[in-house]
Structure 1
Amino acid sequence: MQAEPGVEATLRAIVKAAVDYVPGAEHAGISLVERGGIHTVEPTGHIVECIDQLQYDLHEGPCVDAIAEHETFRVGNVGAEARWPSFGPAAAGKGIRSLLSYRLFVTDRTLGALNLYSSRVDAFDHHTEQDGRLFATHAAIALIGAQREAQLGIAIESRDIIATAKGILMERHGIDAASAFRLLVEASQSTNVKLHQVAAWLVENRMFDRRSGG
């Protein structure tokens, strides 16, 4: 999983490997915590999105509890599960009987939850739960690694764009690097646009001017 390039590819590798690796798992998906909300990414089928959305809408179910309570939840017959009186019957009505949800975390940071689903009653036993917990640990490490690589790539790209924009201003106005950077900051503050976006706009328009002969 750690060899996959990019966050999306890593997520796809995780859910595919989960179905292949964890006995009884017919479907898998990841509920990712982002910007204060939860959403499903890279589900192996539409049923995963459907069951996950039920949990988000009803604010109950093994996925949301795994994230909120920092525990693993294994359910053998969700339709008869008293902990989730609204979600359980709704999930069973969609043909899902067994669920297994793991919190995905690194140190104290919760990334989301890995959710496994089956149409069979009691598809997951205690041994399966333990094996799946090991898998979820590796999945969390792979995911945080991919996210950090993506953030580093964005930071490097932003730095390069800002440097190019400074060079354009230095050439255009005959000023030094500090003065060029100050102009970019002032433009960012006055327009309420992020610094790297201002720099990107300047670079893009400079390229347009060159192509148009300006």
Structure 2
Amino acid sequence: MFVMTDANQHELAHRMAELARTVAGPRSVDEVLTEVSAEAKDLIAGVDAAGVLLIGKGGRFQSVGGTSDLPQRLDELQMRYHEGPCVEAAVDELIVRSDDLRTERRWPMYSAAAAALGVRSALSFKLYTSSQTAGALNLFALEPGAFDAEAETIGAVLAAHAAAAIIASRQNEQLESALSTRDRIGQAKGIIMERYNIDDVAAFDMLRRLSQDGNTKLTEIAERVIQTRGT
């Protein structure tokens, strides 16, 4: 059974604490994922390149946080062939590992193309993101058999931090959108109150009725009212 040494556990705990502060700080999700990929390359022996693959609705994908251009090239191959460890981890499995892509049978087209680029080992971790996006933290090595149980343990912890960064970013985007919507509706109410000399309750009721009668979103009605200001 695999057991991390005390020194490794201490180092991992220290680096994860630093990374947790990074996730909590005012930084973009791309910046945090770049940091996660860099930590993976630094902390896990044998990693030659690391990055994150995000897959949205309709098969749209982003290759982010790469330590070089290699992860993006490999992500593009996987999306082209609709197979590979990163796609499999993002959509289905928790951890996907290949010790030698030259003899890998699970993804024949991708494996051959990746091996032609000199990649031998791959290790991917599912990210727990929203229902709108699937994702994986992906590690690559130019040597066969590069990854072991320790690599899987450290990578799983890093993947959890990457997922936290993505979730936090999505929540911030939703909050900003909600605040913006509330502000636009407030502006529209103010215009109506001034124009028709009515209170805020009556102004909001007018907006609501316009929305219902026209089968139009309240935010769109509010935007139209704002655009009529000064006319």
Check if 1:7 corresponds to 2:29: yes
| Residue 91 of structure 2: aligned partner | 68
- Equivalent residue for 2:51, pick from 29, 41, 44: 29
TM-score (norm 2): 0.75
Contact 2:33 2:65 in 1 (8 A): no
- The residue correspondences of 1:166-205 to structure 2 (distance < 5 A) are 166-185=189-208, 186=210, 190=214, 192=216, 194-200=217-223, 202-203=225-226
- How far 1:61 sits from its partner (Å)? 0.5
What per-residue deviation string (whole Å, max 9, x for no partner) do you get for residues 28-74 of structure 1?
22222323535124242332222112111211110111123232111
| Residue 3 of structure 2: aligned partner | none
CA RMSD of aligned residues (A): 2.9
Q: Which runs of 5+ in 2 are unaligned?
A: 1-21
Secondary structure in structure 2 of the residue aligned to 1:67:
helix
Residue type of the alignment partner of 1:3: A
TM-score (norm 1): 0.80
Residue type of the alignment partner of 2:99: G
Q: Which runs of 5+ in 1 are unaligned?
A: none
| Count of aligned residue pairs for this structure pair | 207
Residue type of the alignment partner of 1:115: N
The separation in 1 between residues aligned to 2:161 and 2:198, in whole angstroms, is 51
| Residue 115 of structure 1: aligned partner | 138
- The residue correspondences of 1:36-51 to structure 2 (distance < 5 A) are 36-44=58-66, 45-51=68-74
- Equivalent residue for 1:93, pick from 116, 124, 136: 116
- How far 1:100 sits from its partner (Å)? 1.0
Check if 1:160 corresponds to 2:183: yes
Secondary structure in structure 1 of the residue aligned to 2:23:
coil
